[in-house]
């Protein structure tokens, strides 16, 4: 009954997300080369590197919130084509215009704007193509591209930029993005199952029947976007998303620095030490997405896992050996990935079918701007406070609060 086209579409979206994340991570990996080019000292490298990375996220958050409705109106497939071309162009523009620092900085802002509607587009496509009982796996496939990018970016981009120079690496990445993503999007991505020229009748009927059933339910109906954004479940999910980004993006930002400060850890060890948690996240996505679809208890499962994550983070910080710290961090990240596996499935369940793109744009923009912006400051207390209660306490409180909020969401929507 279930044909393969929707899974191929999800894999295509995963590839586009992998490449998009390469485009956003390239500056952080190329920063030593950029600093040497511009003759920056350590303080200037921190200042300008922070500006270049921050400008991307400013554009990214604004693009999510303000540009997502235009993506819905223009068409999902066509919009995906446009943003792949734009983010490849702005990646190349950053290399071409890098001799003028302000133009280089502007290219990062424009890159963020162009990538801003990527998640909302993929979220709408997932709701259009996957029935509720498959949606965690459908989302999980393309979300895995995010963790795969963090895992593989140092292994791919560092040698590329060492070989071609950082500007040549940027140009190569732009060409790769176009050459790989556009043919896949052309072949496998269509806005609706009925529009795909190669879909089999049984798969199309299976998806459309599931969509009709979902429309008849309380969540996922055809109501107005504003009403859905003001409902209790959506506001709770937005709060959970903000708290999640505080912890997840904060750990991602500070983990290399934290591990580098541990006794006996050389800089070259960071490549594999920081890769282990991302590998565990990919494993977690597979486990939790499958379990969520099988049990229909996505929020409840994520709540249990988030409760465990707080304890695991505390154990990671008090562990005497660095390999034990990494093991506990990997286990904590695997627990947190239960939220990653269910996050957009839960948001898609609440938002009306015609407004998933715009609603997810508002959701993703706010949670990234607020949670991602404050996360490094919350988690950064670890660097100064070590294992003190004042340092660890905020993270444990946030993870426990998220667990309680997720249990309440499950009570409200049973999904």
Sketch the domain layout of the chain as residue ranges. 5-208, 220-413
- Decide if 5-208 and 220-413 have a common fold: yes
Mean pLDDT value across the chain:
88
Nearest CA-CA partner of 118 in 164, 155, 71, 161: 71
Choice among 71-75, 191-195, 202-206, 314-318 with the minimum mean pLDDT: 314-318
| pLDDT at residue 377 in the model | 61
Q: pLDDT tier at 382 (50, 70, 90 boundaries)? A: low
Confidence check: pLDDT of 202 > 80:
yes
Confidence check: pLDDT of 1 > 50:
no
Nearest CA-CA partner of 94 in 86, 106, 83: 106
For 269-311, write each residue's pLDDT tens digit: 767 787 899 999 999 999 999 999 999 999 999 999 999 998 9
- Average pLDDT, stretch 23-45? 86
Confidence check: pLDDT of 217 > 80:
no
CB-CB contact of 251 with 379 (8 Å): yes
Q: Check residue 96 and report its DSSP letter.
A: H
CB-CB contact of 125 with 189 (8 Å): yes
Nearest CA-CA partner of 59 in 135, 134, 101, 111: 111
| pLDDT at residue 232 in the model | 92
Q: pLDDT tier at 380 (50, 70, 90 boundaries)? A: low
Confidence check: pLDDT of 218 > 60:
no
In the CATH scheme, what architecture does the domain 220-413 have? Up-down Bundle (1.20)
Distance from C-alpha of 3 to C-alpha of 128, rounded to nearest angstrom = 15
| pLDDT at residue 216 in the model | 75
For 59-98, write each residue's pLDDT tens digit: 999 999 999 999 999 999 999 999 999 999 999 999 998 8
Vertex 155, ends 151 and 158: CA angle to 5°? 125
Confidence check: pLDDT of 393 > 80:
no
- Secondary structure (3-state) at 270: helix
Q: pLDDT tier at 376 (50, 70, 90 boundaries)? A: low
Confidence check: pLDDT of 383 > 60:
no
| pLDDT at residue 272 in the model | 79
Q: What are phi and psi of 367, to 5 degrees?
A: -65, -35
| pLDDT at residue 68 in the model | 95
Confidence check: pLDDT of 30 > 80:
yes
Confidence check: pLDDT of 201 > 80:
yes
Query: What whole-number percentage of the chain has pLDDT above 90?
Result: 60
CATH 1.20.1250.20 applies to domain 5-208:
yes
- Average pLDDT, stretch 18-43? 88
Choice among 146-160, 186-200, 218-232, 350-364 with the minimum mean pLDDT: 218-232
| pLDDT at residue 381 in the model | 57
Residue 290, sorted as left (phi over 0), alpha (psi -120 to 50) or beta, turns out to be alpha
Helices (H) and strands (E) in the chain, counts: 17, 0
Q: pLDDT tier at 222 (50, 70, 90 boundaries)? A: low
Confidence check: pLDDT of 256 > 80:
no
């Amino acid at each position: 009954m279930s044909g393969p086209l929707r899974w191929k579409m999800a894999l295509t979206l995963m590839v586009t997300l992998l490449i998009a994340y390469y485009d956003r991570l390239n500056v952080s990996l190329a920063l030593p080369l950029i600093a040497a080019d511009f003759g920056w000292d350590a303080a200037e490298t921190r200042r300008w590197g922070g500006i270049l990375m921050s400008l991307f996220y400013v554009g990214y958050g604004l693009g999510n919130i303000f540009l997502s409705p235009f993506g819905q109106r223009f068409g999902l497939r066509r919009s995906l084509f446009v943003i792949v071309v734009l983010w490849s162009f702005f990646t190349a523009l950053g290399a071409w215009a890098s001799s003028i620092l302000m133009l280089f900085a502007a290219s990062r802002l424009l890159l963020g704007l162009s990538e801003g509607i990527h998640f909302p587009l993929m979220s709408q496509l997932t709701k259009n193509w996957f029935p509720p009982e498959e949606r965690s796996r459908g989302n999980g496939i393309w979300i895995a591209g995010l963790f795969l990018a963090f895992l593989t970016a140092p292994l791919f981009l560092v040698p590329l930029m060492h070989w071609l120079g950082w500007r040549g690496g940027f140009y190569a990445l732009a060409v790769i993005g176009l050459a790989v993503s556009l043919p896949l999007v052309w072949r496998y991505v269509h806005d609706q199952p009925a529009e795909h020229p190669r879909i089999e009748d049984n798969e199309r009927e299976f998806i459309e029947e599931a969509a009709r059933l979902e429309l008849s339910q309380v969540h996922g109906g055809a109501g107005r976007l504003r009403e859905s954004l003001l409902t209790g479940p959506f506001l709770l999910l937005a709060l959970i998303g903000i708290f999640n980004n505080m912890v997840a993006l904060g750990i991602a930002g500070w983990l290399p620095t934290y591990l580098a400060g541990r006794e006996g850890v050389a800089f070259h060890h960071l490549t594999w030490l920081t890769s282990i948690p991302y590998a565990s996240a990919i494993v977690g996505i597979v486990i939790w997405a499958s379990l969520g679809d099988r049990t229909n208890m996505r929020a409840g499962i994520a709540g249990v896992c988030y409760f465990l994550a707080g304890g695991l983070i505390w154990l990671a910080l008090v562990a005497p050996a660095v390999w034990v710290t990494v093991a506990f961090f990997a286990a904590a990240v695997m627990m947190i990935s239960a939220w990653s596996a269910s996050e957009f499935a839960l948001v898609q369940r609440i938002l009306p079918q015609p407004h998933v793109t715009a609603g997810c744009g508002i959701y993703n923009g706010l949670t990234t701007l607020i949670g991602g912006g404050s996360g490094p400051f919350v988690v950064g207390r670890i660097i100064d406070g070590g294992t003190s209660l004042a340092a660890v306490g905020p993270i444990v409180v946030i993870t426990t609060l998220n667990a309680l909020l997720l249990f309440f969401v499950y009570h409200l929507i049973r999904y």
